[in-house]
Structure 1
Amino acid sequence: MDSTSSVRRGSRDRNPRGQGERLRADIVTAALRMLDELADDEALSLRAVAREVGIAATSVYIHFADRDALVLAAIRRCNDDLLRAVDEAGAASDDPVQLLRARTVLLGTWAHRHPGLYKVLHESTLNRRTDMSFKNELAERTTAAIQRCMDAGLAPIDDAATVTFDLRAAVHGTVSMRVNQPDLPWPPLEEQVDRFLVKLVGVRMA
């Protein structure tokens, strides 16, 4: 999954009439690429995004009232792409434990590839100023994956939502530390995820 690579830098041809949605998508893609580089939504400017796309700043304001509106649209796109990616990762196995593991590892590896987007998605002040309940869907799918492990007798019966909170806290903790303290002697992410799944979910790893 990579939401940041489909808009070329520099000038662009004017969109034909009726292709406003294409321009809006191009603006969001450029914003995603810049946010990944900046790792700070407040460092983003609409004028800079306009230059990146190769359009006048007024064209950006037609689609987005302010910076927060653009960043929110970018985060929504990022979240939707992550949902698709984790579902694809989990679809590679019929084993509920391996499905849960694949989803969890993918989230960690994505954050490693896109540390700037991870910080904006989870650590930006926009999270405290704006409703981002759409991010709950990823947690709900993790809860469903944990519940499948329990239903299959591969994890102790427990409240799946509570176990999800514990697992998310552990995964986000290690991901955030890896992003912000990359020089620590980190073990392979897969090994750490396996320990989380064993200790927090109660599964047995093959």
Structure 2
Amino acid sequence: MERGRNPRGQGDRLRAEIVHTALRLLDELGDDQALSLRAVARELRIAATSVYLHFEDRDALVLAALRQCQAELAAATAGAESAATGPRERLRARALVLGAWAHEHPGLFKVLHETTLHQRADMSFREEVAAGTTAAVQRCMDAGDAPPDDAATVALDLRTAVHGAISMRVNQPGRPWPPLEEQVDRFLARLVYRTG
């Protein structure tokens, strides 16, 4: 049974519900190609045309969902960083947030970081978190905790290592992985502080 129409002027609420439902389904599916606008409409008990009024195709909906997902991840990262004291602790907290989030949302991690959508669409909205990591690395260098270098390059090396460790856990969950915190500490020591 289809649900009733939203009252006049509440199209934004329906759009938000569509995005929320898409996020939940993407997390379950772990694959943006497996999502359909009709499936989202079925979940919400609305006509598929109602989804098409807000999103012209699946990629547009997935991008809207990923933008929201990335904004929430950026907020969680900023929160973890601000709760820590000192440049080293802030960078570590920042690096660990993605791991905790991916543990809770492995399907969304795959879609956000491993989707073929990267080849078809502009996903520059993901750069905010990357820029924040570069700034955090630079603060460590400015404080003398890390040797001077190009912060963007060091941050990219760190992000590559952390993302790789998380991706392996998401894609091979049955393996006996060491605690992510220990791996992140090793990455920080070798790539940023160069003590290992």
With normalisation by structure 1, the TM-score equals: 0.91
Give, as a single letter, the amino acid of the residue that structure 1 aligns with 2:18: I
Q: Distance in 1 between matches of 2:100 and 2:33?
A: 25
Shift of 1:11: 6.0
Give, as a single letter, the amino acid of the residue that structure 2 aligns with 1:67: R
Q: Secondary structure at the match of 1:91?
A: helix
Superposed CA RMSD: 1.6
Q: Distance in 1 between matches of 2:35 and 2:84?
A: 40
Q: Is the 8 A contact 1:86 1:106 kept in 2?
A: yes
2:49 aligned with 1:58, yes or no?
yes
Q: Distance in 2 between matches of 1:157 and 1:63?
A: 48
Equivalences for residues 11-50 of structure 1 within 5 A: 12-50=3-41
- Using the aligned pairs only, state the percent identity: 68
Give, as a single letter, the amino acid of the residue that structure 1 aligns with 2:82: A
Match of 1:181 among 169, 172, 180: 172
Give, as a single letter, the amino acid of the residue that structure 1 aligns with 2:31: D
Shift of 1:12: 4.6
2:109 aligned with 1:118, yes or no?
yes
Q: Secondary structure at the match of 2:53?
A: helix
2:74 aligned with 1:71, yes or no?
no
Higher helix share: 2
Change (3 A) 1:146 1:12: farther
Shift of 1:100: 0.7
Match of 1:87 among 51, 74, 78: 78
Please name the residue that 2:143 is paired with. 152
Please name the residue that 1:139 is paired with. 130
**Higher mean C-alpha displacement, 11-20 vs 186-195:** 11-20
Shift of 1:45: 0.7
Shift of 1:203: 6.7
**Higher mean C-alpha displacement, 33-42 vs 184-193:** 184-193
User: Cα deviation per residue 1:152-196 (whole Å; 9 max; x = unaligned)?
Assistant: 111111110010110011011111110111122201111111111
Number of residue pairs aligned between Structure 1 and Structure 2: 196
Give, as a single letter, the amino acid of the residue that structure 1 aligns with 2:189: V
Q: Is the 8 A contact 2:31 2:111 kept in 1?
A: yes
Change (3 A) 1:91 1:11: farther
User: Cα deviation per residue 1:60-119 (whole Å; 9 max; x = unaligned)?
Assistant: 000000101000100111111111010000010231111111111111111111110011
Q: Distance in 2 between matches of 1:12 and 1:119?
A: 32
Q: Is the 8 A contact 1:36 1:115 kept in 2?
A: yes
**Higher mean C-alpha displacement, 91-100 vs 78-87:** 91-100
Q: Secondary structure at the match of 1:137?
A: helix
2:188 aligned with 1:197, yes or no?
yes
Q: Is the 8 A contact 2:2 2:47 kept in 1?
A: no
Gap runs ≥5 in structure 1 = 1-9
